[in-house]
Amino acid sequence: MMSLLNKCDIDYKSLQDTVLPLWLNKYIEIGIEKREDVNCYTYKNIKKFELFYPDYIGNEFSNNKVVVDVDKVGNVAKSLGISLKFAFKIAGLLVKIPQNFNIVISYDNMDFIVSFYCKRKYEEWLIDDLDSYMDEAIFVITT
């Protein structure tokens, strides 16, 4: 991800000037909640929480995915800036919850995917060496 950040010339100033599309702002405005029925954190506007995995982290990660389509946004640099801004806005919501979270941005040469999950003691989702992901670029913000 570092090479992509450097290539796109993303810095603090450009991130400050980045404007989130209205559809992404809705996620931030509506907020995040803990769903007691599945013991998972999710966006409040998610109606149906699917149980794909036997662990909480996998289910949170899968249900909280938001795709920033590069083709719709226009280019990789702009899509990356929007994805980063969105991820930092999510972090701003999550720091108010007395748990630690990972917000993950991945890029598969087509789209950016932003997701989050609560860190749990006996569950892991990503491996520590993010550079070992060969098929996609990964960036993680931890609260």
pLDDT at 66: 95
Q: Which residues contact 97 (CB under 8 A, 6 or more apart)?
A: 32, 34, 41
Instruction: Please spell the DSSP secondary structure of the chain, one letter per residue.
Output: -HHHHHHHT--HHHHHH----HHHHHHHHH-EEEETTTTEEEETT-------SSSHHHHHHHHT-EEEEHHHHSSHHHHHHHHHHHHHHHHHHHTTSSS-EEEEEEE-SSEEEEEEEE-BTTB--S-S-GGG--SSEEEEEE-
pLDDT at 129: 58
pLDDT at 1: 66
| 18-27 contacts at long range (C-beta below 8 A, 24 or more positions apart) | 18/81, 18/82, 18/84, 18/85, 20/82, 20/85, 20/86, 20/89, 21/73, 21/82, 24/66, 24/68, 24/82, 24/86, 27/66, 27/86, 27/90
pTM check: above 0.75? yes
Q: What tens-digit pLDDT sequence spans the chain (143 residues)?
A: 677 777 777 766 777 788 899 999 999 999 999 999 999 999 998 888 999 889 999 999 999 999 999 888 888 888 999 999 999 999 999 999 999 999 999 998 889 999 999 999 887 766 565 565 555 667 788 89
pLDDT at 100: 95
pLDDT at 131: 60
pLDDT at 118: 96
pLDDT at 12: 67
pLDDT at 73: 86
